[in-house]
């Protein structure tokens, strides 16, 4: 029986120029030209404030959590102009940024747009750098401060962030806070009282599109965070390429509700898309983490959406909630046309669960897409903008050329376009190797065609070069691609996994359990987690699924020898899990060293599933 049709969603036709070279490399470029209407994000905000001044642009929950505090485009523009004028008067040293040490908020947005309007770069930093680093002397925050040398640090919560700022702020740095602070500081309310002059509009009109507009931090998964230079040309190119293929279908000019942190590129992209395309953006204070996702569910009950985005871990939590809550199902699917996942591959069983819920509520499926890119490409610069049910990374969007260099049975990806960074701040050695001889950025990932005979079906992710490692036999393991396969194979038993085996004789897994999925396997209610993990049905399910995976595997680079559950959740304070909800594999392996040693013990301990025997 054929699957029900997707709800209406329109994409432009796929039309690629494909060049196949003698050395086997392939260059793909969309034939459609990139069309940019606004030269900068501040210019785009000004345009929307002129066209629809009274439309709500941003909304957030007040401190007491009841209702929504909303501000219009005109109000955001007026506040941002006050910040711009204040910074023009302050006249900081060129290149020194405004560091925004804050979660997502209306004030955060105002500071970003105000600084950009003045031509002062912004550097958004997760509050966790200030709130969770005291025991270690705020080393991560200190590293960022030393790297970018902020002229201004804005902390919305001056009381909570005060100790960190006192510890790391450079001499002469001005401290700006949203409320009380024990440090000498300026209140944001006083800055917002600055009357804008004619110089504001003139400064925005004269912005250099190739000057630094933002310093966006990398995740630091393979070392200390780097500051990626992003320019207005990069940001607008990225926003408009997304608008041409996804934005109209997604309703970036309508209503959005997102939690993705603005200190990361995915969250920053969506919030700026709402600013220049005229959307109402509800700031979701929830996160896809235990104890935090309830806030997202509360918001989704109140705000119908055409478009929803999350990481796979968030979709797993959402599926649980949708199955249990009829009102949530009705509101969530009422207007929904498009869902986007990022950060990792979406397991097929999870995809099927959500589509089953959509069909039961609406009689149709909802299209899933994904974005692919990096901090160095501003945000996602490839996407699935064509009808497909295959998990992948899509195809290049207008303005981007992708070079695919043969690497065994895969291709190494390289990228060129106006959305690609000029380089890292104060990292000349890295910048020297950032691009190849044709100026293509080396993103460090590999891919395969879903169908080599029809490139229009898109690309599948085939592994991150930095996540590859060797067994002690010298066999290479593609850790990123294998992790996605295993999460899918073991769904819904696990939430995520750490792949172990570097310089070891075989691969082994540590995995965080999905209690609801395990409870369904045991067909019992009320068992504690420890009881679920020891239940014979769970052990048999894990063993049989891994055995099936091993039977289909091509060799030792994919076969799993041992498995064990982790009972301690991922530790955000230790940066084991990012603000986006994704696992930092290198830090997880450092923190779980004892668990890894137990996986490879000569005599398997209790709870370990041994597939070697």
Q: How far is CA 136 from CA 121, 131, 140, 142, 300, in A?
A: 28, 11, 9, 11, 37
Tokens (6 digits) for 394: 């899509």
Task: Examine the pLDDT at 230 and tell me if it is beyond 80.
Answer: yes
Cβ partners under 8 Å of residue 539, min gap 6: 609
Q: How many CB atoms lie within 10 A of CB 51?
A: 10
* Nearest-10 crossing angle of helices 232-242, 41-51: 60
Lowest-pLDDT range of 133-147, 161-175, 280-294: 133-147
Contact 566, 515 (CB under 8 A): no
pLDDT in tens, 19-54: 999 999 999 999 999 999 999 999 999 999 999 999
Band of the pLDDT at 104, cuts 50, 70, 90?
A: very high
Q: How many CB atoms lie within 10 A of CB 69?
A: 13
Tokens (6 digits) for 56: 């709500």
Conformational region of residue 149, where left means phi above 0, alpha means psi within -120 to 50, and beta covers everything else: left
Q: Which helix (H) or strand (E) holds 403?
A: strand 401-407
Band of the pLDDT at 581, cuts 50, 70, 90?
A: low
Instruction: Select the highest-mean-pLDDT range: 6-15, 156-165, 166-175, 434-443.
Output: 434-443
3-state secondary structure of 346: coil
Distance, in Å, from the CA atom of 158 to the CA atom of 69, rounded to the nearest integer, reads: 21
User: Residue 111: what pLDDT?
Assistant: 98
Task: Examine the pLDDT at 583 and tell me if it is beyond 80.
Answer: no
Cβ partners under 8 Å of residue 432, min gap 6: none
Give the 3-state secondary structure of 280-294: EEEECCCCCCCCCHH
Distance, in Å, from the CA atom of 393 to the CA atom of 402, rounded to the nearest integer, reads: 12
Q: What is the strand order of the sheet 255-258 is part of?
A: 69-72, 56-60, 280-283, 255-258
User: Residue 572: what pLDDT?
Assistant: 66
User: Residue 210: what pLDDT?
Assistant: 97
Lowest-pLDDT range of 90-99, 116-125, 329-338, 471-480: 471-480
Task: Examine the pLDDT at 579 and tell me if it is beyond 70.
Answer: no
User: Residue 222: what pLDDT?
Assistant: 45
Distance, in Å, from the CA atom of 294 to the CA atom of 446, rounded to the nearest integer, reads: 36
Contact 14, 395 (CB under 8 A): yes
Give the 3-state secondary structure of 440-484: CEEEEEEEEECCCCCHHHCEEEEEEHHHEEECCCCCEEEHHHHHH
Torsion of CA 599, 605, 607, 613, to 10 degrees: 70
Closest CA to 268 of 551, 92, 41: 41
User: Residue 214: what pLDDT?
Assistant: 98
Average pLDDT over residues 174-185: 88
Task: Examine the pLDDT at 556 and tell me if it is beyond 60.
Answer: yes
Distance, in Å, from the CA atom of 479 to the CA atom of 65, rounded to the nearest integer, reads: 41
Task: Examine the pLDDT at 221 and tell me if it is beyond 80.
Answer: no
Percent of the chain at pLDDT > 90 equals 66
Average pLDDT over residues 90-117: 96
pLDDT in tens, 313-364: 889 899 999 999 999 999 999 999 999 987 666 777 888 899 999 999 999 9
Output the average pLDDT for the chain.
Answer: 91
Quote the Cα angle for 270-276-277, to 5°: 80
Distance, in Å, from the CA atom of 171 to the CA atom of 167, rounded to the nearest integer, reads: 11
Query: In degrees rounded to 5, what are phi and psi of residue 338?
Result: -150, 135
Contact 98, 115 (CB under 8 A): yes
Query: In degrees rounded to 5, what are phi and psi of residue 334?
Result: -55, -50
Q: How far is CA 99 from CA 73, 124, 147, 204, 412, in A?
A: 24, 6, 12, 20, 35
User: Residue 87: what pLDDT?
Assistant: 98
Residue with tokens 């190849």: 436
Task: Examine the pLDDT at 79 and tell me if it is beyond 80.
Answer: yes
Q: How far is CA 154 from the centre of its chain?
A: 23
pLDDT in tens, 370-393: 889 999 999 999 999 998 888 788
Lowest-pLDDT range of 46-60, 124-138, 222-236, 271-285: 124-138
Residue with tokens 């069909």: 359
Task: Examine the pLDDT at 220 and tell me if it is beyond 60.
Answer: no
Q: How far is CA 263 from CA 72, 101, 111, 418, 448, in A?
A: 23, 9, 13, 22, 31
Please compute, for residue 585, the number of CA atoms within 13 A of its CA located in the half-sphere on the CB side.
24
Residue with tokens 């010298």: 474
Query: In degrees rounded to 5, what are phi and psi of residue 408?
Result: 70, -125
Contact 344, 312 (CB under 8 A): yes
Distance, in Å, from the CA atom of 41 to the CA atom of 117, rounded to the nearest integer, reads: 8
SS3 content of the chain, % helix, strand, coil (to 5): 40, 25, 40
User: Residue 237: what pLDDT?
Assistant: 98
What one-character DSSP code corresponds to residue 140? H
Task: Examine the pLDDT at 4 and tell me if it is beyond 90.
Answer: no
pLDDT in tens, 438-488: 999 999 989 999 999 999 999 988 877 777 788 888 888 878 778 888 988
Q: What is the strand order of the sheet 174-177 is part of?
A: 186-187, 174-177, 152-155, 98-101, 122-125, 212-217, 227-231
């Amino acid at each position: 029986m054929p699957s029900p049709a997707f709800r209406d969603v329109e994409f432009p036709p796929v039309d690629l120029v494909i060049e196949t070279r003698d050395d086997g490399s392939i260059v793909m470029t969309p034939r459609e030209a990139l069309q940019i209407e606004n030269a900068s994000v501040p210019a785009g905000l000004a345009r929307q404030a002129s066209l629809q001044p009274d439309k709500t642009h941003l909304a957030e929950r007040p401190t007491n959590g009841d209702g929504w505090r909303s501000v219009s485009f005109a109000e955001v523009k007026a506040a941002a102009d006050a910040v711009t004028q204040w910074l023009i008067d302050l006249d900081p040293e060129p290149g020194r940024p405004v560091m925004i040490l804050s979660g997502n908020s209306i004030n955060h947005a105002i500071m970003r747009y105000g600084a950009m309007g003045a031509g002062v770069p912004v550097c958004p930093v997760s509050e966790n750098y200030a709130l969770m680093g005291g025991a270690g002397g705020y080393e991560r925050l200190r590293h960022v401060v030393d790297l970018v040398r902020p002229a201004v640090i804005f902390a919305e919560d001056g009381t909570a962030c005060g100790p960190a700022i006192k510890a790391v702020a450079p001499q002469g740095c001005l401290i700006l806070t949203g409320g009380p602070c024990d440090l000498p500081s300026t209140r944001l309310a006083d800055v917002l009282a600055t009357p804008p002059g004619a110089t504001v509009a003139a400064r925005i009109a004269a912005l250099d599109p190739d000057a630094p507009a933002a310093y966006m931090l990398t995740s630091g998964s393979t070392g200390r965070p780097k500051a990626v230079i992003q320019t207005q040309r990069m940001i607008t190119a990225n926003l408009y390429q997304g608008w041409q293929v996804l934005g109209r279908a997604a309703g970036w000019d309508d209503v959005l509700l997102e939690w993705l942190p603005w200190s990361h590129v995915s969250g920053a992209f969506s919030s700026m898309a709402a600013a220049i395309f005229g959307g109402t953006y509800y700031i979701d204070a929830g996160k896809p983490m235990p104890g935090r996702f309830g806030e997202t569910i509360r918001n989704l009950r109140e705000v119908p959406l055409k478009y929803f985005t999350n990481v796979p871990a968030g979709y797993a939590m959402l599926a649980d909630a949708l199955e249990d809550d009829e009102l949530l199902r009705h509101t969530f699917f009422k207007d929904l046309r498009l869902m986007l996942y990022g950060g990792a591959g979406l397991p097929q069983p999870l995809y099927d669960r959500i589509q089953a819920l959509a069909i039961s509520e609406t009689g149709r499926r909802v299209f899933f897409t994904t974005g692919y890119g990096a901090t160095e490409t501003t945000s996602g610069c490839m996407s699935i903008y064509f009808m497909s049910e295959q998990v992948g990374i899509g195809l290049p969007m207008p303005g981007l050329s992708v070079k695919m260099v043969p690497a065994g049975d895969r291709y190494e990806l390289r990228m060129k376009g106006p959305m690609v960074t000029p380089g890292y701040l104060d990292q000349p050695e890295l910048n020297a190797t950032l691009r190849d001889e044709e100026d293509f950025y080396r993103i460090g990932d590999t891919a395969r065609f879903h169908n080599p005979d029809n490139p229009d079906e898109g690309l599948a992710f085939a592994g991150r070069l930095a996540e590859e490692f060797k067994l002690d036999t010298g066999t290479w393991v593609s850790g990123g691609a294998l992790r996605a396969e295993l999460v899918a194979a073991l769904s819904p038993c696990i939430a995520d996994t750490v792949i172990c085996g570097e310089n070891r004789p075989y691969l082994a897994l540590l995995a965080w359990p999905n209690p609801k999925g395990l409870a369904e396997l045991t067909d019992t209610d009320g068992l504690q987690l420890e009881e679920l993990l020891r239940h014979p049905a769970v052990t048999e399910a894990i063993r049989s699924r891994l055995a099936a995976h091993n039977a289909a595997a091509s060799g030792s680079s994919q076969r799993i020898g041992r498995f064990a559950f982790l009972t301690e959740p991922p530790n955000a304070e230790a940066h084991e899990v990012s603000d986006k909800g994704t696992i930092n594999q290198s830090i997880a392996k450092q923190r779980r060293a004892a668990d890894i040693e137990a996986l490879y013990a000569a005599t398997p301990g209790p709870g370990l599933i041994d597939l070697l025997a």
